[in-house]
Structure formats: structure tokens, C-alpha cells
Amino acid sequence: MLTTVAIVFFVLLFAGVPIAFVLGITALVPIVMGFGPDFLALVPQRMFAALNLFTIMAIPFFFLAAELMSASRITEDLVRFAEVLVGRIKGGLAHVNVLASAFFAGISGSAISDVAGLGAIEIKAMRQAGYPLPFATALTVASSLIGPMIPPSIILVLYGSIMQVSIAALFLAGVLPGLVMALLLMAMIRGMADRQGFPRRTAPLPPGEAGRAVRGALVGLMMPAIILGGILSGIFTPTEAAAVAVAYALLVGLLVKRSLRLADLPPIMLRVSIMTAVVFMVLACANILAWFIALDRVPEAIARGLMSIASDPYALLLLVNLLLLGIGMFMDIGAAIIVMAPIIGPVMVDAGVHPVHFGVVMSLNLVLGLSTPPVGPCLFAAAGITGMRIETLSRALLPFYLVQVVFLLIVTYVPFLSLGLPRLFGYIN
């Protein structure tokens, strides 16, 4: 039966069928063949159950908050602030690219939003400064992966909802890894700067520019502070924090910056509705497949298989990393989380890995798939902005892939990066 499921899944996937329908059709085949048509009556219930979680409601609110802040042109303020901070360093605009992504991560929580919101601005500025187009585009893709790690991370919200793990603890757990990823990318850029002759800003800033940049960016940077501060202080839940973020974004756009018009709201709501519908459809259909997997006792079989290969948690983490990296190259993040987390998570917890640490490791593995062929969304988004061929962009990304793998190993085998802040704030023991 599992062989049939795998064949149907990969045939539909490589045929270009949308991932939600791939998951739904793949799940229906074994349900009809193995459990009988009577089980079909339960399929709508399973689809609804996947979305009947209060924390899931945070996802469309965070989508909306990010769209409102982008429409308010806060991205330009973040780039200008990053330029003030690191523009004079060798390879300054490349450093600005990374730092701006780290700032924007606190607003969007999404790698795709980073590429869409900052990509065109960053790549155009780097090209005008003399950076090669493949390098500028590859760096934009690589730096966008900071987005899903720093709160409010959409993927961590999803993992916490599925696995019943504190989202506040997961948000805290993603902060240090996100910052380390940014520092590793900036260290790589500094190492390349002298060899490749990257430029830097030599002209002094106009009088008052630094102050204006700080004031402009402060409005945007207050959002992650409000979200995380409100959650940690117990003022509101993560879902309520997402709603507060929307209210704050509206206040900033309409009244503070006055760059958001009422006429902008209908197209924003349409885009957010489409994004939410796509994500929720994937989650609903993935839950059907996860249901079949549970009925067929696949988790127990995988657990036995993994434990027969290695029982040491460090060896298990390496095996799981390899498995998840492969899955991330072919499967949507949301679908991978809802299908694989209930299978692998209990195995890792039984082996002594903290569920918060594993949540960060699993999320990071799947996030790296956003930049890898054959279906990396960030890869295709950046190629669409620049008109580059996927093959050319993938070759330009090779050095960044190496850095990302090193970073993955660091996060995997240095649990303090994930668990330090949650323990400091008392969310875990």
C-alpha cells in the first residue's frame, strides 16, 4: 500500500498538480483501496479538524500585517536604516541586504514575503553599485531564509499548533538561530569582499540622514517588539498578538506614515485571502494524508526503522536532517510539517531531544528547501524578479548552500541556541 501511495504522490507532484491536490488525491487512493468507501464520509471531518485550531488563526493575521507594512513602504525605511548601520563596511550593500532581511523578518515571518517585499529593491541597488547580478540575486534568496526563523515565524506557529508546543517558547527559540544565520552570511560576505572587490559607501551621509533613517525604521521595528513583548508578558496570546499586529500596521500606514490609502486595502485583502486559502487548503489535505499514515501505523514503522539504525540522539538528528532536507526539496513546508512532525517528533523526544529544539531543527531543514531546486519557491520568485535562469541562480547559490549546511549543523548540535532564551524566560525547564 505504501508503495502505491508513494508512486501516486510523485507522479502527481512531477506532473505539476498543485500540492494541495497532490496530498488530497494521494490520501484518497489508499483510503478507498484499503479501508473502504465508508471512510470517505470522515474525510471532510479530518479536513476541518486540521483548521479547527485557535493558533492557526494567527497565520492570516500575520500575512495581513506583513502586507500592510509593505504597502506602507516600511521596507524602504528598513533598507535605509541598514545602510546607515553597515553601509561603510567593505561590501556594504551586501551586508545591507542581510541586515534588512533580518529586520523585515520581524514583520513578515516569511521567506517568500522577504523576496517579494525586499528583493527588487535590494537587487536593483546592488546592481547599480556594481555587484554581479547572480551574486546579488543569490544573496537575496539566501538572506530571505532568515525570515521564517525570527518571530513572528509562520512555520513555528504551525509546528507549535500541530505538536502542542508553546508558540512563545518557539518564538524565543528562533531568535538566536536567526541572528546567527545573519552573522554567518555577513562573515561570508566580508571574506569575499576583498577577493572580489566589492564596493562600499565612501561618501558621508547627508546631515540628519542617520536620524531620519532611525526614526523611519523604528516604526517598523516596534512591531516585533510589541508581538514578542505582549506574548511574553502574558498580555495576549500568539493569535491575539497577530491581530494586534494588524491593528498596529493599519495605524502606522494610515495615520503615522500616511503612505497607506483606503484604496489599497481591497487588493491587499484579496492577496491575503488567496495566500490564506492556499495555505489552509494544503493543511486540510495534508491532514487527510497524515490520518492515513496514522491509521496504517507508519509512525511506528519509521520509529523502529530509525532506532534500528541508530539510537544515539546525535546520530538520529543527523539521519533526520538528511531525511527532512530531502523532503523540503520536494514538499510544501506546511504540508511537510503537518505530515512529518507527528511521525518524527515523538521519536526524537523519546531519544532525548527537546521538542522545542526539534521544532527549530525541523523548521530550519524545511526552510532550506525554499531555496533549492526543483521546487524552491524563493528560488523561482527571485528568478522571476531578475529574469535569470534557475540553473544559473542555483550555481550562484552553491557557496550559500555550504554556509546553510554549516549553520544547520551548528543549530542541530548546539541546543543552547534554541533553548537558551526559552529557559531564560522560564518557558521550558
Domain annotation covers residue 369: yes
For residue 378 the three cell numbers come to: 524563493
Q: What is the CA radius of gyration of the chain?
A: 22
Distance CA 34, CA 161 (A): 30
Residue 211 lies in a domain: yes
Please write the tens of the pLDDT for every residue from 9-25. Answer: 888 877 878 878 888 88
pTM score, whole prediction: 0.85
> Is 74 a domain residue?
yes
End-to-end CA distance of the chain: 42
Structural domain count, the chain: 1
Locate 196 and state its grid cell. Answer: 572580489
For residue 70, the model assigns a pLDDT of: 81
- 429, part of any domain: no
The pLDDT score that the predictor gives to residue 2 is 67
Q: How far apart are CA 422 and CA 418, in angstroms?
A: 8
pLDDT per residue rounded down to tens, the chain (429 residues): 667 777 888 888 778 788 788 888 888 887 777 666 667 777 888 888 878 877 788 888 888 888 888 888 887 888 888 888 887 888 888 998 899 888 888 887 788 888 877 888 888 888 888 889 999 999 999 999 998 888 888 899 989 988 989 999 999 999 999 999 999 999 999 888 888 888 777 777 777 777 888 888 888 888 888 888 888 888 888 888 889 989 998 998 898 888 889 899 999 999 889 888 888 888 888 888 777 777 777 667 777 777 777 778 888 899 899 988 888 887 788 888 888 888 888 888 888 899 999 999 999 999 998 888 877 888 888 888 888 888 899 999 999 999 999 999 999 999 999 999 999 998 888
What confidence score (pLDDT) does residue 247 get?
A: 92
Q: Is the peptide bond before 206 cis (omega within 30 degrees of 0)?
A: no
Range of the structural domain that residue 71 is part of: 2-424
